[in-house]
Structure 1
Amino acid sequence: MKRAIFNAINNDELEMYYQPKFNPVTEEVTGLEAFVRWNHPDGHQLQAGEFIHVIEKDSELSLALDNWVLNHTLAQATDWTDKQYGLEFISINLSSWIQTDALTSIINNALTNTAYPSNKLSFECPWRILEMDTTLTTKTMRKIRESGACIITDGAPLDASALITARNTPIKLSKVCYTTLHKLIDESGVKAVSTQIRNWKKSGIKIAAVGVENDSEHELARQIDCHLSQGNRFKAPLSATDITALLVMIMETKIAFGI
């Protein structure tokens, strides 16, 4: 599997897909999350979840993948920025968080190569990686934050213990799955969950609802003061070509209606 993934990187079998992130109040597309896909030679397209477990166990492989993802995503994002499609940020999932110097080096090189503005860039770190090695992962986060990029975590619980951990990092946004939010609401009520979200916000960390599948889930995300809403309610992750067509349509609609 490791050999096959290295071949995928070298043989251009990988492709980036993108999913819109919405402001739940204005319904504006404010940003995109980048996802890597593997167009396997056997004809199947694999999502990152199907091979990330192999990558995270190999430092050379994880850096090689992150380097490929960074350069391809930032090149595409630079093109969208140059065409003024109105995106506020793009977020990228990384796998080599505990390799501080090597990771920050490839990030800085990618920013230099593409001239993409770092203040429009976010990097996503799974909460499980932060828990595995809080000290080293936090060190990497701080080094990346120096570039001007934002730090996001995914999968953190909303409890007080998690907030204490997150508060000691440069994390500015925490993604929580809608099913987790719904379970918490069933257990404690909307008011209690809204209070938890406000506590995170007071500590400088906004909450995004992910896995939002329909209008009622999107509306609930708005009610409990989530900063962003993301999921298949609007679109599953799309290829760069399809996302470009979507961004063009949004821009042309705004121009037509004078928005």
Structure 2
Amino acid sequence: MQDSFSIYGTKLNSRLFVGSALYPSPQIMQDAIKASGAQVVTLSISRQNPQQQGGQNFWSIIQSLGVHLLPNTAGCHSVKDAVNMAKMSREIFQTDWVKLELVGDDYNLQPDPIDLVKAAEILLNDGFKVLPYCTDDLVIARHLVELGCEVLMPWGSPIGTGKGLLNPYALQAIRDRFPDITLIVDSGIGVPSHAVQAMEMGYDAILLNTAIAHANQPERMAIAFKKAIEAGRGAYLAGPMAEQKSANPSTPTIDSPFWHHSA
């Protein structure tokens, strides 16, 4: 039985979203994306505009993969810039999906929580299906949900750091508070075990780029993440054992069968 979920009504079977930047070559990117089994690929109009010279080859590769496109507003520092980039992306890539990114501080590229909410409201009212990249702040998450966002993408840690889930409590609080909202951990995932941890919490998917693109063998790392996400999801559905305060023997002797061996 397929364990599917949906993004604004679009059914997906793969819970791994991957980025299209930073790969050593277009061919390695293509091989890694195929190996990952991802059905959603993120891309930025600021880096891969198919209407500009040099962008056509990249665009052809992405189209050949038959994936859903998730344009992002990477690099935007204001509401106006983010909204304008989203509108250009919709026209060029022919999708109303947008991963809304709005940098609040260049030190750790933390999303600006206030302007993010403002931009999300504008784009939702314009018919966009907004996937906001936010911090793990529960109150900001609530504001985004109340505006109409059906998907949230809280960070695990600052983008590109590979530090994993710095605040598991905060991420778990968002999951528990919004059981019916699609939640995707985005940024900071460095190794497959980080992805397993997020999926065991009940998160719906993982979005990553650098961890695959910068691996010594991107295709092999893509496969590792694919399996990790499947393992984490399976563990969440199975239900983990409760932690105990003291040791308990896994093979109790009372009321258990006894086999006697005689020489």
C-alpha separation in 2, matches of 1:215 and 1:81: 28
Is 1:215 the counterpart of 2:173? The answer is no
Post-superposition offset of 1:31: 1.4
* 1:241 has 2:216 as partner: yes
Q: Is the 8 A contact 1:150 1:171 kept in 2?
A: yes
Matched, 1:30 2:16: yes
Q: Secondary structure at the match of 2:37?
A: coil
Once the two structures are superposed, residues 27-63 of structure 1 have per-residue CA deviations (whole angstroms, 9 ceiling, x without a partner) of: x851123554xxxxxxxxxxxxxxxxxxxxxxxxxxx
Q: Which residue of 1 aligns with 2:108?
A: none
CA contact (8 A) 2:30 2:61 kept: no
Pairwise CA distance, 1:224: 4.0
RMSD of aligned alpha carbons: 4.3
Where do residues 1-259 of structure 1 align in structure 2 (5 Å cutoff)?
30-36=16-22, 72=25, 75-83=27-35, 85-95=36-46, 102-103=51-52, 107-113=55-61, 115-117=63-65, 119-126=67-74, 128=76, 131-133=79-81, 136-146=84-94, 148=95, 150-155=97-102, 157=113, 161-167=118-124, 168=126, 170-178=128-136, 181=137, 185=138, 193=140, 195-200=142-147, 202=148, 206-210=151-155, 211=157, 212-225=165-178, 227-232=183-188, 235=191, 237-238=210-211, 239-250=214-225
SS in 2 for 1:227: strand
How far the C-alpha of 1:208 sits from its partner, in A, is 0.4
Offset, 1:234 = 5.0
Change (3 A) 1:118 1:143: farther
Kindly name which structure, 1 or 2, has the bigger radius of gyration based on alpha carbons: 2
TM-score by length of 2: 0.50
Question: Which residue identity is paired with 1:157?
Answer: P
TM superposition shift of 1:135: 7.0
Give the conservation status (yes or no) of the 8 Å contact 2:34–2:65.
no
Aligned partner letter, 2:88: T
Structure showing the higher helix proportion among its residues: 1
Query: What 5-or-longer segments of structure 2 have no aligned partner?
Result: 1-13, 103-111, 158-164, 195-209, 235-263
Q: Is 1:35–1:92's contact at 8 Å kept on the other side of the alignment?
A: yes
SS in 1 for 2:16: strand
Instruction: For 1:95, give the aligned amino acid.
Output: S
Describe the shift of the 1:218–1:139 C-alpha distance in structure 2 as closer, same or farther (beyond 3 A): closer
For residue 137 of structure 1, give the secondary structure of its aligned residue in structure 2. helix
**How far apart, CA to CA, are the structure 2 residues paired with 1:218 and 1:151?**
22
Q: Return 5+ residue gaps in structure 1 as ranges.
A: 1-27, 37-68, 186-191
Q: Give the TM-score normalised by structure 1.
A: 0.50
Give CA deviations for 1:185-223 in whole Å, capped at 9, x if unaligned: 4xxxxxx555423224x35x5220012424324323423
Distance 2:80 2:118 in 1: 15
Equivalences, count: 179
